[in-house]
Structure 1
Amino acid sequence: MLSESRAALYRSQAAVELADVLHRRGKSEEAAEVLCGVLGDFSSERGAVHAAAAHRLLGIIAEDTRDTQAAEEHCVRALSLLERAGAAGDLADLCRLLGDLLCRTGRVEAALDAYRTGLGHRTAPGTTTLGPAPAQPPL
């Protein structure tokens, strides 16, 4: 229906959600095929969060098959998209996944950098109890 109505972004979003369901049901190869089929539909300006979700899931699938290099590449692509989109919650979760992956491969310093990146986006000025107060508006 979405293809027929030329709603490409919604079709691609639904495809990412379908791939997630397929993966959770143990059909990771099918999920990867669905994701690879829609990655070209996204851009950094349009659908960046969905593209990041596709890369995140492809990274998880790659890690499941012990292809840590592909997993890391997909996570880094997702990280870049989420940073530009300003999706702090998704970015923090992805940084946790990437940090855990890097820890498992023995790259502790890189893992710490990934964790810091995720935390840095969650602690914007004015969101912490201690630290500088938000700037007062000009009078």
Structure 2
Amino acid sequence: MPVIKLYTFRFLITLLMLFGLFIPFILQETFYPFFRFGMFAEPVKRSIQTEQFFLVAYQNEGGFDFQIAELTGIQRSKLDYLLRNYYYRNEADQFLKQVSRLFPSHQMPDTLYILRKIQNDTSLVARFPRE
């Protein structure tokens, strides 16, 4: 049976302790971010948006259509981000002009609207084409 010398044993213990001390900080930047409850992570808090934006199309013969994301090919989450972003930059009219180019010619709506809803209050932000 091999005998481990005392200084080799101390070296191994010291090395393991240092490894155990620093490995969480290495994993924190490389491995833990893939887990929501990784080291030093806060618990998930459900944030409820009180302000919502809607892109609505109006056809004279068909009425209102709220499913713009499917028609234009923009993901719903990206559309929400873009609506909020353009609203706060006061460029909602330019956004509607750009979105109107995404529609196929046979499905082009007569009018596009951006609506802003806070709690139970809904307001018109922009309209394209302008009247």
Which protein has the larger Cα radius of gyration, Structure 1 or Structure 2?
A: 2
Higher helix share: 1
Q: Per chain length, whose mean CA-contact separation is higher, i.e. which structure has more relative contact order (CA < 8 Å, sep 6+)? A: 2
In terms of fraction of residues, the more strand-rich structure is: 2
TM-score normalised by L of structure 2: 0.25
TM-score (norm 1): 0.24
